[in-house]
Structure 1
């Protein structure tokens, strides 16, 4: 959707399947090819989605897929990939009508069983269910848990992944936080951090949106990533917070911003859904190298009871952000980001003495021994810089230089305390 909006067809989707294989992105972990909204045949001027009058089923979408949807899903499966599809859980669809935002209908609200039967015949492995209402500009959220539960029950035993979009997993009564940022908080996105993820989302869905639709702009990357602050406890295997699909490579972000965007999604355990037309980038382009970076993806895929969060913002004019994910084996992934300062930040120091860092990196036994004298300890760690692809050994601090909107994506491991008598703190 981020690349095509409604302007795609069988040729475009088939090409993405080919490019994922050709660019070795399948081996990097990208195994789903998902078709988003506007796939249906219909009268767009009058907001009508065509259904068969006798069966109630969607008319086969031959306008976009003249050889049939099953032909595409079969191709994906033959390449070792899986095939995803889109619908709206309410009466209307979330896009594409001539008169407004949500005027294409009827969709799957009230037609769940016959629609799922058709989708399964088409060979889907992933279903994105949008939460569109019957009015313009975002619709109503009432009944969201019932819609999500209905689809979860129908999909039991099918093996199909359920993705929910625009459900009120984080909204307050009477407010729709998916249509646009609040006027008094257009950039920082502090509002969503005060809202807990609702339990029905984690219970019924494999992933759910927590933010407005991402735009191809740096402010939007920051806004959506900040919607994830404080939400790590609701994420885990089988159920993940989703700040929306990736915008990497669509032209609105520069090189550093594309790297930072991908880094944040990785350190936050966000679903990695490519949102660019891969035909526009070669196998060895900067964009494909970012999307296919195995070390970055490894951080995204690892889970040790911590899905990642923003740890701190420096209390100086630079406001450098540190985003952290605790990994197994006393390792730690860290994204250090020059998010908003208009210029280069030089000699920024990441301190390894922070209690939250040191306790995880050194282990609880060592930390208990030295915590009263933590500031005096000499902590030595191996540091791997993911984007620069180099390793170093650092003591107490990691010194970085960051261009405007640049990040350093670090993996820190093998930490110990130098010159100590405590056996639990020595180099192993």
Structure 2
């Protein structure tokens, strides 16, 4: 659920504020909160929120009768696009979205020029920090030691290089892991765990 929340906050350009007690922060939570590829979506200079392009209620519901799946899409600076598969169903789902749907707001019914192009797919959660590295940061009581852990891990440091500059420099740490390509008129597909989300940059 934390991953789903953080994905949506970033895609919707919400203020990213940590509301938890940092003294109780777990390594797995830190790896979500410090994912530079996801934060880069939130900090994208175009500042446009993603919009929901599909809502599916025909999924397994939880004990309270609640459950759905959603697909969100949003334009990014430089012509890129963010896509979020949000699974709020009570089971894992295989989700997909066509380029026609993804670029619907640029022209419905296949009229968007992007539908006729090929797109590289970048998974924004694939290169998440390892729990072991995150735990070393948490265990570092001296800031200089924590900074050394971050530097040794090659992790993006937005204090040294702001996100707008990193995006301008095409820093690969802000673009996720390339996992494939969608051909013209093709589909973006992914398995999404129950109560979680997958997030992609095209």
Alignment match of 2:198 (pick from 404, 408, 412) = 408
Alignment match of 2:41 (pick from 299, 304, 323) = 299
Deviation by residue 1:217-260 (Cα, 9 ceiling, x = unmatched):
xxxxxxxxxxxxxxxxxxxxxxxxxxxxxxxxxxxxxxxx0100
- Does structure 1 residue 394 correspond to structure 2 residue 190? no
Q: Is the CA contact (8 Å cut-off) linking 2:13 and 2:47 kept in structure 1? A: no
Alignment match of 2:16 (pick from 269, 272, 282) = 272
Tell me how large the CA RMSD over aligned residues is: 2.6
Q: 1:276 to 1:315 in 2, by over 3 A?
A: closer
Q: Which residue of 2 aligns with 1:357?
A: 103
Where in structure 1 do 4 or more consecutive aligned residues deviate above 4 Å?
none
Q: How far apart, in 1, do the equivalents of 2:22 and 2:54 lie? A: 35
Alignment match of 2:50 (pick from 308, 317, 336) = 308
1:9-408 pair list within 5 angstroms: 257-281=1-25, 285-304=27-46, 306-314=48-56, 316-317=58-59, 319-339=68-88, 341-346=89-94, 348-354=95-101, 357=103, 360=106, 371=111, 379-389=117-127, 390-391=177-178, 392-395=180-183, 396-408=186-198
Q: Is the radius of gyration larger for structure 1 or structure 2?
A: 1
Gaps of 5+ in 1: 1-256, 361-366, 413-428
Q: C-alpha displacement at 1:313, in angstroms?
A: 0.9
SS at 2:6's partner residue?
helix
Deviation by residue 1:266-302 (Cα, 9 ceiling, x = unmatched):
00000011011122235xx111111111111110011
Q: C-alpha displacement at 1:359, in angstroms?
A: 6.6
Q: How far apart, in 2, do the equivalents of 1:296 and 1:342 lie? A: 25
Q: How far apart, in 2, do the equivalents of 1:279 and 1:263 lie? A: 23
Gaps of 5+ in 2: 61-67, 128-176
Q: How far apart, in 2, do the equivalents of 1:382 and 1:336 lie? A: 17
In proportion to residue count, which structure has more helix?
Answer: 2
TM-score, normalising length from structure 1? 0.30
Aligned residues between the structures: 141
Q: How far apart, in 2, do the equivalents of 1:264 and 1:305 lie? A: 14
TM-score, normalising length from structure 2? 0.61
